[in-house]
């Protein structure tokens, strides 16, 4: 009887040892999102390479200022004094009363200043303005933003502005802030590729990858 009980215990032990912990599976939806992300990043690399080595365009004929900090409008007003008669587009900047006052104090005609408030982030700074620039026949601009923000702005701009044949020269505003992370720039650059291909700004990706 004792031997039989010992045999049963051994058999139970073997059975327990054979139990396998179920593997964690990745949901198909998340797999698809990661695949799209990989494809977008790959396309980003190719897009940046293509637009970076395009032949130089004609001299800039307008200024695009990316809003987000009042100093960008102040810098742009001074910059405009050095480039008289050049139209200025401010995307997502300070409230119109303050922005108008800044340019007025610098002696810049109100007819040259275009304040646009359709953007909600750096990505849409470009997507909401690029076709407006193109409709004015503009195909070469100065791009103004803070130095720490410029890498991300350039990556997005090379894709979105480049998709419409608009060349740009970057003008960075000095600051005391460290540059934004490479990951942040790459993420928005990939969103830019997605926008060019599908017209979607990729806002949904923030919840998946941030």
Helix (H) or strand (E) run with residue 90 in it: strand 88-91
Distances in Å between the alpha carbon of 139 and those of 69, 131, 163? 26, 11, 11
pLDDT (mean) for 136-142: 96
pLDDT for the residue numbered 117: 97
- So what's the pLDDT on residue 2? 45
Work out the average pLDDT over 83-109: 97
Domains, in order of start, for the chain = 57-209 (3.40.50.1980)
Strand partners, 142: 63, 169
Q: What digits encode the pLDDT tens for the residues 4-22?
A: 554 555 555 444 544 454 5
How far apart CA 44 and CA 49 sit, in angstroms, is 8
What confidence tens digit (pLDDT) does each residue in 151-210 have? 999 999 999 999 999 999 999 999 999 999 999 999 999 999 999 999 999 877 766 555
Mean pLDDT of 80-103: 97
Whole-number pLDDT of residue 203 = 78
107 Rama sector, left if φ>0, alpha if ψ -120 to 50, beta otherwise: left
User: What pLDDT, in 10s, does the model give residues 38-89?
Assistant: 555 555 555 554 555 455 568 999 999 999 999 999 999 999 999 999 999 9
Instruction: Give the pLDDT mean for 139-157.
Output: 97
The reported pLDDT for the residue numbered 53 is 46
Residue 208: what pLDDT?
58
Predicted TM-score of the model (pTM): 0.76
**Given this model, what pLDDT does residue 58 score?**
83
In sequence order, which ranges of 19-144 are alpha helices (DSSP H)? 28-52, 70-82, 96-105, 122-127, 130-135
Using alpha carbons, select from 147, 135, 139, 133 the residue that is nearest to residue 180. Answer: 147
Which one is predicted more confidently, 145 or 6? 145
pLDDT given at position 202: 84
Q: Tokens 């198909």 appear where?
A: 28
Identify the pLDDT of residue 157: 97
104 vs 24 pLDDT, higher one: 104
């Amino acid at each position: 009887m004792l031997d039989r009980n010992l045999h049963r215990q051994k058999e139970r032990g073997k059975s327990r040892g054979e139990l396998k912990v179920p593997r964690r599976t990745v949901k198909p939806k998340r797999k698809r999102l990661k695949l799209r992300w990989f494809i977008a990043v790959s396309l980003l690399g190719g897009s940046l390479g293509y637009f970076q080595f395009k032949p130089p365009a004609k001299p800039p004929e307008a200024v695009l200022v990316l809003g987000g900090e009042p100093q960008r409008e102040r810098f742009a007003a001074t910059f405009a004094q050095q480039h008289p008669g050049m139209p200025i587009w401010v995307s997502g900047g300070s409230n119109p009363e303050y922005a108008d006052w800044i340019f007025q104090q610098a002696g810049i005609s109100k007819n040259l200043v275009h304040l646009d408030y359709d953007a909600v982030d750096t990505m849409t700074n470009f997507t909401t303005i690029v076709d407006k620039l193109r409709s004015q026949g503009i195909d070469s601009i100065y791009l103004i933003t803070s130095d720490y923000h410029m890498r991300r702005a350039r990556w997005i701009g090379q894709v979105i502005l480049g998709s419409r044949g608009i060349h740009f020269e970057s003008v960075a505003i000095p600051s005391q802030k460290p540059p934004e992370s490479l990951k942040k720039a790459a993420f928005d650059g990939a969103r830019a590729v997605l926008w060019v291909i599908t017209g979607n700004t990729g806002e949904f990706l923030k919840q998946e990858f941030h």
